[in-house]
Amino acid sequence: MLIEQPAKFLRWLYPHALWRMDKEEHAVYLTFDDGPIPEVTPWVLDVLDHYEVKATFFMVGDNIRKHPAEFEMVKARGHRLGNHTFNHIGGLRHGISSYVRNVDRANEYLHTDLFRPPHGWMKWGQYIFVKQRYRVVMWDLVTRDYSTRLNGRDVLLNVRRYARPGSIITFHDSLKSHDKLLYALPRAIEWLQSQGYAFRVFD
């Protein structure tokens, strides 16, 4: 559970970040990290269209550079955009200046006020600088669809077990998540809808 639903002490590390939205509203926020890529992103978009759901895509700038058509598809279908750095860099391996430059380089494509750090971590100094320019969005539920130890049923179970009002739910439109997404994403959406959840994107 420490991974799927971060403990309070993890949330305290970045006190102004968004970890969970209004817990009084029966709604969830679907998010997707690491895209866009042609093998996965268009399929995700088709699933979201089928269920009439909007989501937020935290994109890697270099993937946008390599796959502009898929980037345009996300925008054309009305989804929210978020910044996930240009090279999917981990904050622990970079200084403040190089990290912020990488974030800003991605934003030359994205033009968004939302940011999520790769791996969910950055140094305190990086956070201080980034939050001056962006709203930092973490998660309330990470599905772990990237894990080689889980299958699609496990990913779906994580959604069913940990989703709650205001949850920011993280999937990945990436190659390593694709096989799990095929099973879990449509079933997760159907289950959330059956529980009466509305789907929101960030204002």
Q: Tens digits of per-residue pLDDT, 8-51?
A: 877 888 989 999 999 999 999 999 999 999 999 999 999 999 99
pLDDT at position 7, please? 78
CA angle (39 as vertex; 38, 44 as ends), nearest 5: 90
* Residue 14, Ramachandran bin (φ over 0: left; ψ between -120 and 50: alpha; else beta): beta
Token pair 């088709």 is found at 46
Does the pLDDT at position 194 exceed 90? Answer: yes
Q: How many angstroms separate the CA atoms of 170 and 144, rounded?
A: 8
pLDDT band of residue 2 (cuts 50, 70, 90) is low
pLDDT at position 1, please? 52
State percent of the chain over pLDDT 90: 91
User: What six digits make up the tokens of 76?
Assistant: 């054309």
Tell me the pTM.
0.96
User: What DSSP element (H or E) covers 106?
Assistant: helix 96-110
Give me the chain's average pLDDT, please. 96
Task: State the average pLDDT over residues 136-152.
Answer: 97
Does the pLDDT at position 3 exceed 80? Answer: no
Task: State the average pLDDT over residues 111-126.
Answer: 95
pLDDT at position 40, please? 98
User: 25-34, 117-126, 193-202: lowest mean pLDDT where?
Assistant: 117-126
Task: State the average pLDDT over residues 122-145.
Answer: 96
As beta bridge partners, residue 24 has none
Task: State the average pLDDT over residues 101-118.
Answer: 98
Task: State the average pLDDT over residues 177-188.
Answer: 98
